[in-house]
Amino acid sequence: MEITLEAPLDMHLHLRDGDMLKLVAPLSADFAGAVIMPNLVPPITEPGGMVAYGERIREAMGETDFTRYMTLFFTKQTEQQLEQAMGTPGFFGYKLYPAGITTNSEGGVANLKEAESTLKMMEERGIPLLVHGESHGFVMDREAEFLSVYRTLAETFPRLRICMEHITTAAALELLDTYENLCATVTLQHLIITLDDVAGGALRPHLFCKPIAKRPGDRDALLQAALNGHPRLMFGSDSAPHPRCNKEACGCAAGVFTAPLALPKLAEIFAAHGAADKLQDFVSGNACRIHGLTPSAKTITLHDKPMQVPAVYRSYGQQVVPMYAGEEISWSIRN
C-alpha cells in the first residue's frame, strides 16, 4: 500500500541553532515546510534576528526546497514592531509563552491583560497568535487550567486567529469546537502515548515533553479527531531535540525528537485505522486553508515497507535520540 502526500507541513518545529541545527534540519527535509519556533537562547524577538536565523536554517537544510514559516517570540510588541514584522519576508506569526512555562520561555508573558493592545492590533492585521497553553498549576492540569484563558482570548478577539499549540486533552478539543477563531496543532506523541508510557514503568526520558502526555481518554479523543479529519486540527510535531546528555540526565530536558520518523509513523497509524484518505488534510490541507499558505511543491510517497529508526542521530559533535530509537516502524518513505 502507498500514500502520496502533497506538500506535507510541520506546523510546530524546533530546529535550534549551531551544530544542533546542522544535525536536525536535514532530518525535516521530507516536509515541504514548517512553522519554526523562536525559543532560542536568547529568543528571536526582532525581525532582523528572525531573517538571520532563517538564513542559517536554509544553509543547514541543504538543497531541498523547504518553506520556513518564521515566528517571533511574543513580547507585547508595539504597532511599529508589528508593522516591521509584517513587512519582513518569511514572517508567519507570534508565539506566546506564559513566562517560564517551558524550555527558554523565561521572557514570556506574565500578565495577559497587559498584552491586550498588541493582541487587538494583531487581530486587525490578521497576524496569527500561536500559544503554548499551560498554567503554572499541577502538571496534569496545566492545559485544562489554561482553557479559560483561550476562552477569554477567543471571545475578546473574535477575529484573531488563535492556534492552541500541541493540545493534549479531550477538553481542548471541545473548546476547539466552541470557537471558530481557534485552531490547534497536535503532535505525533500525543496521538500515541499516555503518561503511563512516560512514567508508568521505568522512566522514559525521551518521551518526556511539555505539555506532558495525559490520560488514555485524552489520547484516544485526539487520535479520533485526527482520523476523522477535524478541519481545524493540524499536524505540528513539536519535534524538540535536546543533546542526549541533557535528556539522559538528572533533570531531564522536556522535548521528544520525532522529525525523522513523523511522516512514516503517521502513515502507519492512519493506514491501520483505514483513514489514509484523511492524512493529506491533517498534514497540509487544513493548515493551507486556515492560514492561506502556498508551500513549496513537494510530493512524498510513503509505503508499507519497514523503517529502522536509528538508536541515535549523531553529527557535528551532537547526539540526539529519537522516539522509537532502535525500533522498527512498519511504514517508510519510498525514495
Residues at the site binding ligand DOR, with contacts judged by CB under 6 A: 14, 39, 102-103, 132, 209-210, 240, 254-255
Closer residue to Zn ion (CB): 257 or 331:
257
Cα–Cα dist 302/310, whole Å: 18
Pick what 96 binds: Zn ion, ligand DOR, none; C-beta below 5 to 8 Å, kind-dependent. none
In the block, cell 484518505 appears at 277
Pick what 181 binds: Zn ion, ligand DOR, none; C-beta below 5 to 8 Å, kind-dependent. none
Shortest CB 201 distance to Zn ion, Å: 26
Closer residue to ligand DOR (CB): 206 or 210:
210
Q: Which of positions 223-242 make contact with Zn ion (CB under 5 A)? A: 238
Write out the three cell numbers for 274. Answer: 483505514
Shortest CB 292 distance to ligand DOR, Å: 26
249: left (phi over 0), alpha (psi -120 to 50) or beta: beta
Shortest CB 332 distance to Zn ion, Å: 26
Q: SS3 for 226?
A: helix
Contact 324, 292 (CB under 8 A): no
In this structure, which amino acid lies at residue 92?
F
Pick what 8 binds: ligand DOR, Zn ion, none; C-beta below 5 to 8 Å, kind-dependent. none
Q: How many CB atoms lie within 10 A of CB 104?
A: 17
- DSSP annotation of 284: I
CA atoms within 13 A on the CB side of 167: 31
In this structure, which amino acid lies at residue 318?
Q
Cα–Cα dist 150/64, whole Å: 37
In the annotation, is 238 catalytic? yes
Closer residue to ligand DOR (CB): 34 or 302:
34
Closer residue to ligand DOR (CB): 129 or 300:
129
Shortest CB 239 distance to Zn ion, Å: 9
The answer for residues whose C-beta is within 8 angstroms of residue 27's C-beta and 6 or more apart is: 259, 260, 313
Catalytic residue among 10, 30, 218, 238: 238
Q: What's the gap between Cα 7 and its chain centre? A: 17
Closer residue to ligand DOR (CB): 219 or 298:
219
Shortest CB 211 distance to ligand DOR, Å: 7
Query: Which residues are known catalytic residues?
Result: 238
Binding site for Zn ion (CB under 5 A): 238
